[in-house]
């Protein structure tokens, strides 16, 4: 929560008692401050100048405030459990807070019960787990998804601009993602049953966005691999153009790999600027530590 703003010095109070696992605040680190203004998101880079221990923070704004532009992402057809729910009110601040509370509920449900904890806390954790399991059991739906949004068919027609709660279950890694999408396009389904609805991710944790991008990249590589195996098993005939097709497939695979490497590198750099470690960097360091421990 913003507590003060004097020229380029921004005062903040954290809305939670502890930072997410793996997150850290270090004096001098560059952070990205992002906020909603009416129907637009704006962002600005800032340097942490005090409050590294948490609680109250002071940030020095070091850039101009600009409109936040989501990155471009590859799109992929997927078949996943997708659930959507309409908020009772279209209040952006209230929806954002409910989304944040949903993420806190996820963290509580994932925790193991502490010895001697109050019965009310145990009952609340079990109630949250039951609710989340019901969402995971949503029937799979054919969707077109990217790191910036999703498009799938639903029975009702939604007006562009509406904010919608979304639950997406990723099988690899097994993770249920809670986020908020904004309707940006609606078309009647070709079958005449329902409406193809496109939503951009309005409120999403960047770690969840990385999971979506990683899953989509894996699906694209698997699809290219299946295509490659199909061509290699075909009989060799003259004049079929197999050589050019194989070169094209190889070129697309290399292009996708290069794009994935660039994306992961930029994500790691962005995490470092915020004083955090990317999941891939953390896993790599843990692997190196295990190898050194084994040798010793």
Kindly report the pTM of this predicted structure: 0.54
| pLDDT at residue 182 is higher than 90 | yes
Strand, coil or helix: 239: coil
Looking at per-residue pLDDT, the higher value among 186 and 251 belongs to: 186
At residue 123's C-alpha, the angle toward residues 120 and 125, to 5°, is: 110
Higher pLDDT, 62 or 286: 62
The pLDDT score that the predictor gives to residue 165 is 94
Higher pLDDT, 74 or 98: 98
Domains of the chain in start order, with CATH, are 2-67 (no CATH), 79-202 (2.40.10), 210-233+242-295 (no CATH)
| Residue 88, phi then psi, degrees to nearest 5 | -65, -30
Mean pLDDT of 72-97: 86
Q: What is residue 39's predicted lDDT score, i.e. its pLDDT? A: 56
Q: What is the pLDDT of residues 231-278, one digit of tens each?
A: 443 334 434 445 556 666 677 777 777 767 767 766 666 666 655 555
What distances in angstroms separate CA 271 from CA 49, 240, 261, 263, 279, one per listed residue? Answer: 18, 48, 15, 12, 10
Q: Residue 201: in which H helix or E strand, if any?
A: strand 195-203
């Amino acid at each position: 929560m913003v507590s003060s703003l004097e020229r380029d010095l921004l005062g903040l109070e954290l809305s939670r008692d502890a930072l997410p696992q793996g997150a850290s605040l270090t004096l001098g680190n560059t952070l990205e401050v992002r906020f909603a203004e009416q129907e637009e998101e704006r962002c600005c880079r800032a340097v942490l100048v005090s409050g590294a221990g948490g609680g109250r923070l002071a940030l020095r704004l070091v850039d101009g405030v600009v409109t936040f532009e989501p990155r471009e992402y590859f799109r992929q057809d997927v078949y996943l459990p997708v659930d959507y729910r309409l908020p009772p009110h279209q209040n952006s601040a209230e929806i954002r807070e409910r989304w944040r509370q949903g993420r806190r509920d996820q963290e509580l449900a994932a925790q193991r019960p502490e010895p001697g904890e109050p019965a009310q806390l145990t009952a609340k954790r079990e109630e949250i787990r039951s609710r989340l399991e019901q969402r995971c059991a949503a029937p799979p739906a054919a969707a077109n998804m990217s790191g910036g949004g999703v498009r799938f068919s639903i029975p009702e027609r939604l007006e562009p601009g509406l904010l919608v709660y979304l639950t997406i279950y990723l099988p690899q890694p097994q993770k249920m993602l809670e986020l908020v999408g904004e309707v940006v396009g609606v078309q009647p389904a070709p079958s005449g049953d329902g409406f193809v609805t496109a939503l951009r991710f309005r409120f999403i944790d960047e770690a969840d966005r990385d999971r979506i991008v990683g899953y989509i990249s894996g699906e694209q590589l698997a699809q290219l691999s299946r295509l490659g195996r199909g061509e290699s098993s075909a009989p060799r005939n003259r004049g079929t153009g197999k050589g050019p097709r194989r070169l094209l497939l190889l070129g697309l695979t290399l292009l996708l790999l290069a794009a994935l490497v660039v994306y992961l590198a930029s994500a790691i750099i962005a995490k470092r600027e915020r004083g955090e470690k990317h999941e891939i960097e953390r896993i790599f360091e843990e692997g190196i530590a295990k190898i050194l421990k084994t040798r010793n």
